[in-house]
Chains A and B, each alone.
Chain A
Amino acid sequence: MQYLRIARRKAWRIGLLVALAALVAPSAFALSADEIIERMEDNQTHPTSYIEGEMVITDRFGDRVSTFFAHTEGDDRFLVEFTSRDEEGQRVLRRNDDLYLYYPDARETIRLTGSALRDSLLGSDISYEDMTGGRGLAEDYKFELLGEETVDDRRCYKIELTARGTNVAYPKQIYWVDSEDFVLRKSEQYARAGRKLKVTEVLETMEQDGYIFPARIRITDQTRRSSGTEMILHQVDIGVDLPRGVFSLEQLTW
């Protein structure tokens, strides 16, 4: 009898705890869409880094590989230099909102503005405009958590991004952010008419100095059947000392 009383009391306590937990959990542990995006961006933004990688561009003629190395600082400064034979010495410099191209053959630096930003990077599915984002998505988009979905066996938050104004290329995007490590697993970009334009899938991730970030992504243009671009990072060193003046225009032409 005594045993039964103790068991009942125990069960009551457990029940109370479960009920409390159920009440408290959504407010204490659930994240808002803004917080999820913020954590994702924190994961992807490094104080400084040195990166080596390659870009595989697939079209109806086959695959093309462009190798590169890059220096980055924060989310709005980078210098990419291509090292593959066809593009050797070509550089792309981003300083805040400005993007510059350097062509070694012509020894010419071009500042990309207006419609030129819409051009494709080396014929890939990435436009120069895609390279100018990253100041913080919250500036340009409103976020709405649509729910949770599984992407490649990973539980992800599904978040809809709607453009706040007209200074962005995509009026709507959908992100799938890993609910465990807050890495972007997949994203879709939409045209104004609502048609899907691009799909970005994260095929591999990399962990370095406490940061987890996409290391191999595939971008496919949904308006084309046989094209796609894969970006693969082979080496990422975070917190490196950057070469002096690496983001200066003088260095760009050097």
Chain B
Amino acid sequence: MTVFKSSRTGHHRTYAGLRMLAVLAAKNLTRYRRRTLITVSAIAFGVAIFIGMASMLDGLIAEGDRNLVRYETASAAITGTGYWDEREQYPLDITVADVDAVVSALEDGDIAAAPRVGFRGELIVHYDPYPEDGSVHLNMYGIDPERDARVFHLADALIEGQFLDPGEHGILISAWLAERLGAEVGYPVTITTRTRDGFHQILDMDIVGIYETPNPTVDRSAIYMPLDIADFYLEMRGAVTAIHLALPEPVPGAADLQPVRAALERAGVNLTESPAAGDGGPQSSAIELLSFDEMTAEFAAAMELQDAAFAVVLLLLGVIAVVGISNTMLMAVLEREREIGMMRALGMRNGEIRSMFVFESAGIGLIGAAIGLLLGAALVWYLTAHGIDYSAVLADVEMDFRFDGVLYGVWSPRTMITAAVGAAVLAGAVALLPVRRILRRGISDSLRQH
């Protein structure tokens, strides 16, 4: 009972003491207004920049994923087994053979599916109507115009001319490419490529439409033609290199693939082996279902590297903020050594002095973090609403990022709160070091300081 009483009394005394120290710390904040203002500004600036940078980095990743889904990968894809690993070689011998069976199975399950044939070729143009002769190696895609528009956003990206019609010897090129070639709708092009069996092939086509997407990788490297034309000239015998699927998903990579598996299973399409084709038809081969994450694993790895680079920048920002805060606190503490000596001489214990300074620093940190949070929120609002236009700088820069130059931020409350709390805690912690140094000296030495 005595122990409890004593403990309660002690507890009460400690609370009163802490309150007194907190009040003292608060008074000190107003006593040294200029110092407080400078330190608060430094912390606020650091927190706001950190929040803005993190928002832009998240925005870059989100934009990249969105552009991958909309123009390159869709939510998922069915390919010949092993095709995705070799896709940069654009092999025409790893295919989905019985396209009709797969597409019908998916469409019966209300899943939009777009078959595509991807191949490499050289696009050749000649003086008149073009300003000069030229050629460029490009990625080329045979697409089913109607089905492709249900899965990808290419049709919405058309800015001139018309979308593709089946059976038409027409191609879509990007505005970026059209500008560099001096091309317009209606101009002829020659395409040289190889058939599925490796023979040289030449196609004479006309430009029927010009598109512009926010995905620079697509704009700078891809042209499109009707699937039946590609099938005929490449002698694909009905096979395609991939069937892309549109699935409901709140963010890229979140789609549930189970309905796809179920739809294929219901139709008797085996994911490890496609249905056998008849004589003279496409050869049967193993097919696989790839998720967005599987298709973008390399891109994600590249982004992780970029993330790491950005993380270093953020870390440096943090270090600068911490050093700034430490320096200000160090100066604040050192210039008050006599005061500390006085407090010790009057009987204030080292722990109490330490606590008082920690409260004072944390107070500065809290005010700075709160202002930084407000500034950061304003910055994120601007970034999400207007973005930052890098297009002039990145016009001819080769890069892996799938964004067209205007970088938008995204809201990340978790990052914002982490940054603010982190700054406040750090500010409190960095005061410990100089205080500890002074407390090691004798009281008389401290009192002699000017």
Which residues of A does B touch, CB under 8 Å? 60, 114-115, 118, 163, 166-171, 189-193, 195, 197, 223-226
With A192-B235, A197-B202 in contact, is A166–B197 under 8 Å at CB? yes
Question: Given A171-B200, A192-B200, A223-B192, list of 16 further CB < 8 A pairs?
Answer: A60-B133, A114-B89, A115-B89, A163-B199, A168-B199, A169-B199, A169-B200, A191-B201, A192-B233, A192-B235, A193-B203, A223-B124, A223-B202, A224-B133, A224-B135, A225-B127
21 intermolecular pairs with C-beta atoms under 8 Å apart:
A60-B133, A60-B134, A114-B89, A115-B194, A166-B199, A167-B198, A168-B198, A169-B198, A170-B199, A171-B200, A189-B200, A190-B200, A191-B200, A191-B201, A192-B200, A192-B235, A195-B202, A224-B124, A225-B127, A225-B133, A226-B133
**Chain A hits for B192, CB < 8 A:** 191, 197, 223
A192, B195: Cβ atoms under 8 Å?
A: yes
**Chain A hits for B135, CB < 8 A:** 224
Closest residue of chain B to A118 (Cβ to Cβ) is: B194
Instruction: State how many angstroms separate the Cβ of B3 from the closest Cβ of chain A.
Output: 80
Is residue B244 within 8 Å, beta carbon to beta carbon, of the partner chain?
no
Closest residue of chain B to A227 (Cβ to Cβ) is: B133
With A115-B120, A166-B199, A223-B192 in contact, is A193–B233 under 8 Å at CB? yes
CA distance A197 to B124 in the complex (A): 13
| A-B contact number at CB 8 A | 57
Is residue B398 within 8 Å, beta carbon to beta carbon, of the partner chain?
no
**Chain A hits for B202, CB < 8 A:** 191, 193, 195, 197, 223
With A60-B132, A169-B200, A191-B200 in contact, is A223–B195 under 8 Å at CB? no
Is residue B190 within 8 Å, beta carbon to beta carbon, of the partner chain?
yes
Which of A114, A193, A225, A226 gathers the greatest number of chain B CB atoms within 10 Å?
A: A193
Q: Report how many residues on chain B are interfacial, defined by Cβ distance under 8 Å.
A: 24
Closest residue of chain A to B132 (Cβ to Cβ) is: A60
**Chain A hits for B90, CB < 8 A:** 115
CA distance A189 to B200 in the complex (A): 9
A191, B190: Cβ atoms under 8 Å?
A: no
Which residues of B does A touch, CB under 8 Å? 89-91, 120, 124, 126-127, 132-135, 190, 192, 194-195, 197-203, 233, 235
Instruction: State how many angstroms separate the Cβ of B139 from the closest Cβ of chain A.
Output: 13
CA distance A115 to B88 in the complex (A): 10
Closest residue of chain A to B86 (Cβ to Cβ) is: A114
**Chain A hits for B235, CB < 8 A:** 192
B127, A192: Cβ atoms under 8 Å?
A: no
**Chain B hits for A223, CB < 8 A:** 124, 190, 192, 202
CA distance A65 to B134 in the complex (A): 21
Instruction: State how many angstroms separate the Cβ of B164 from the closest Cβ of chain A.
Output: 20
Instruction: State how many angstroms separate the Cβ of A150 from the closest Cβ of chain B.
Output: 28
**Chain B hits for A163, CB < 8 A:** 199
CA distance A81 to B134 in the complex (A): 30
Contact of B201 among A60, A115, A192, A225 (CB under 8 A): A192
**Chain A hits for B203, CB < 8 A:** 193
A193, B198: Cβ atoms under 8 Å?
A: no
Q: Which 4 residue pairs are nearest across A and B when measured between Cβ atoms?
A: A166-B197, A191-B202, A192-B199, A195-B202
Closest residue of chain A to B120 (Cβ to Cβ) is: A115
**Chain A hits for B197, CB < 8 A:** 166
**Chain A hits for B124, CB < 8 A:** 223-224
CA distance A167 to B197 in the complex (A): 7
**Chain B hits for A189, CB < 8 A:** 200
CA distance A195 to B133 in the complex (A): 20
Which of B89, B132, B199, B203 gathers the greatest number of chain A CB atoms within 10 Å?
A: B199
Closest residue of chain A to B89 (Cβ to Cβ) is: A115
Instruction: State how many angstroms separate the Cβ of A134 from the closest Cβ of chain B.
Output: 18
CA distance A225 to B126 in the complex (A): 7
**Chain B hits for A118, CB < 8 A:** 194
CA distance A167 to B126 in the complex (A): 31
Which of B194, B198, B202 gathers the greatest number of chain A CB atoms within 10 Å?
A: B198
Instruction: State how many angstroms separate the Cβ of B93 from the closest Cβ of chain A.
Output: 10
Closest residue of chain A to B90 (Cβ to Cβ) is: A115
**Chain A hits for B132, CB < 8 A:** 60
Which of A60, A114, A115 gathers the greatest number of chain B CB atoms within 10 Å?
A: A115
**Chain A hits for B133, CB < 8 A:** 60, 224-226
CA distance A217 to B285 in the complex (A): 44
Closest residue of chain A to B126 (Cβ to Cβ) is: A225
Instruction: State how many angstroms separate the Cβ of A160 from the closest Cβ of chain B.
Output: 16
CA distance A24 to B133 in the complex (A): 56
CA distance A163 to B198 in the complex (A): 12
Which of B120, B192, B203 gathers the greatest number of chain A CB atoms within 10 Å?
A: B192
Instruction: State how many angstroms separate the Cβ of A196 from the closest Cβ of chain B.
Output: 9
Instruction: State how many angstroms separate the Cβ of B245 from the closest Cβ of chain A.
Output: 27
CA distance A60 to B197 in the complex (A): 32
Instruction: State how many angstroms separate the Cβ of B27 from the closest Cβ of chain A.
Output: 69
A171, B199: Cβ atoms under 8 Å?
A: yes
CA distance A170 to B233 in the complex (A): 15
**Chain B hits for A170, CB < 8 A:** 199-200
CA distance A168 to B194 in the complex (A): 11
**Chain B hits for A171, CB < 8 A:** 199-200
**Chain B hits for A226, CB < 8 A:** 133
Instruction: State how many angstroms separate the Cβ of A116 from the closest Cβ of chain B.
Output: 9
**Chain B hits for A167, CB < 8 A:** 198
**Chain A hits for B195, CB < 8 A:** 192
